[in-house]
């Protein structure tokens, strides 16, 4: 039950923060939307101790700030590669997965894909690695360093 309460609270705060409009009709639509999402989550049976949104929600803003910075740096790198195409040397690589939960693994794969110049091409359930396509060897080296994996591990919290 606490998982549904925490999901409801987080979704309601997100709705209020993003909408910025506090008229009765908008608040009613927001409450209906949150209720629908919580109901669908219950029907799909996807919320529990492993997927508790409150367990790492307080660590998300710090991770998002870091990820936004990485996206900006990667955009700059890709823009320079577009101007000088000799830098583009595509690489297909396997990156070890160190995350414990399925949510952590998906977060890691999505973070790689969100960063320009890299795309996660395969994430198999239970696999020990991700398959990634990198536009340049330097971006592949960044993934091999494990900095992003470590950030996602910190986001997951103590195991």
Tokens of 99: 């995350």
CATH number of 56-156: 3.30.70
For residues 30 and 41, which has the higher predicted lDDT (pLDDT)? Answer: 30
pLDDT, tens digit, 9 for 90 and up, residues 40-83: 888 887 766 556 556 666 788 889 899 999 999 999 999 999 99
pLDDT, tens digit, 9 for 90 and up, residues 84-93: 999 899 999 9
Q: What percent of the chain has pLDDT over 90?
A: 52
Residues 6+ apart with CB under 8 A from 55: 157
Domain boundaries defined on the chain: 2-47, 56-156
For residues 57 and 120, which has the higher predicted lDDT (pLDDT)? Answer: 120
Distance of CA 63 to the CA centre of its chain: 9
| pTM assigned to the model | 0.72
The pLDDT score that the predictor gives to residue 121 is 95
The pLDDT score that the predictor gives to residue 51 is 60
Mean pLDDT of all residues in 122-139: 91
CA dist 91 and 36 (Å) reads 43
Distance of CA 95 to the CA centre of its chain: 17
Query: Residue 91 phi/psi, 5° resolution?
Result: -135, 135
What confidence tier does 19 reach under pLDDT thresholds 50, 70, 90?
Answer: confident
Is residue 1's pLDDT more than 80? no
The string of DSSP codes covering 11-29 is HHHHHHHHH----HHHHHH
Mean pLDDT of all residues in 125-154: 91
């Amino acid at each position: 039950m606490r998982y549904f309460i925490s999901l409801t609270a987080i979704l309601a705060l997100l709705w209020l923060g993003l909408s910025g409009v506090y008229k009765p009709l908008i608040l009613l639509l927001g409450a209906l939307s949150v209720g629908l999402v919580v109901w669908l989550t219950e029907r799909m049976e996807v919320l529990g101790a492993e997927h508790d949104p409150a367990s790492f929600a307080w660590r998300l803003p710090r991770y998002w700030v870091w990820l936004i910075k990485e996206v900006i740096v990667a955009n700059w790198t890709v823009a320079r590669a577009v101007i000088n195409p000799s830098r583009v040397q595509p690489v297909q690589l396997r990156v070890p997965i160190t995350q414990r939960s399925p949510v952590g693994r998906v977060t890691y794969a999505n973070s790689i894909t969100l960063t320009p110049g890299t795309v996660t091409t395969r994430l198999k359930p239970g696999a020990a690695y991700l398959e990634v396509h990198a536009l340049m060897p330097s971006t592949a080296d960044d993934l091999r360093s494990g900095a992003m994996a470590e950030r996602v591990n910190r986001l997951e919290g103590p195991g």
